[in-house]
A and B are shown apart, each in its own frame.
Chain A
Amino acid sequence: GNSVTQMEGPVTLSEEAFLTINCTYTATGYPSLFWYVQYPGEGLQLLLKATKADDKGSNKGFEATYRKETTSFHLEKGSVQVSDSAVYFCALRTTGGGSNYKLTFGKGTLLTVNP
């Protein structure tokens, strides 16, 4: 079956620090990979995605590269801001092997950025 493993945190950083949140996956078929962000009291927002190997997703200064050889999709940002404080979820979706298109989530990583 499909699974996603991400560093659980919490992660606490100072403003302008470099961020990495690790994410690895196992999947049947060829997954698309996603990072979602959940701000306090809100729903999930799609942050970025990559649909095939070596694709790089990017948005709002965040980046992640789909690495098939290491089955990874690590999230990075060069300089975090206080407003980036949220819970980040790595997720995958396959279109075959009985997955029925549903997203499989990691357990989320709480990021707190201090001024």
Chain B
Amino acid sequence: GEEVAQTPKHLVRGEGQKAKLYCAPIKGHSYVFWYQQVLKNEFKFLISFQNENVFDETGMPKERFSAKCLPNSPCSLEIQATKLEDSAVYFCASSQSGTGNYGYTFGSGTRLTVV
């Protein structure tokens, strides 16, 4: 389809619990990006994939965050042992190419609330 599908839309977890978020990119798009939108609208880059390979993971807090993009499956972002500060909206985006001529298509996000 022509949309990036993110599930679930909302997720509530107790502090210390695991959270797993999913993203189905647009078919044919080679690049997938994960962003975290925190209070006051700021977007923080987390990780990107080129097909199933990690392309750039410089934004990932590696001790608790992990992500995968496996063939024929939605991409996933997993947070082990969530903390209050992980409360945010997590957006996935896909792009046809790595060149700057293409914008991203964003999903509608997963709102994670850690209580």
Contacts and interface: CB of A to CB of B under 8 A. Distances in A.
Contact of A49 (B91, B93, B103): B103
Chain B interface residue bracket vs A = 20 to 34
A95 B100 CA distance: 6
Interface stretch (B14-22, B37-45, B64-72): B37-45
B40 A107 contact: yes
Nearest to B111: A41
A100 interface: yes
Interface string A88-115: 0100011100001111110110100000
Interface residues of A, number: 27
Contacts, number: 65
A51 interface: yes
Interface of A: 30-32, 34, 36, 38, 42-46, 49, 51, 87, 89, 93-95, 100-105, 107-108, 110
17 contacts: A34-B103, A42-B108, A42-B109, A43-B91, A46-B103, A49-B103, A94-B100, A95-B98, A95-B100, A100-B56, A101-B55, A101-B56, A101-B99, A102-B56, A107-B40, A107-B42, A108-B41
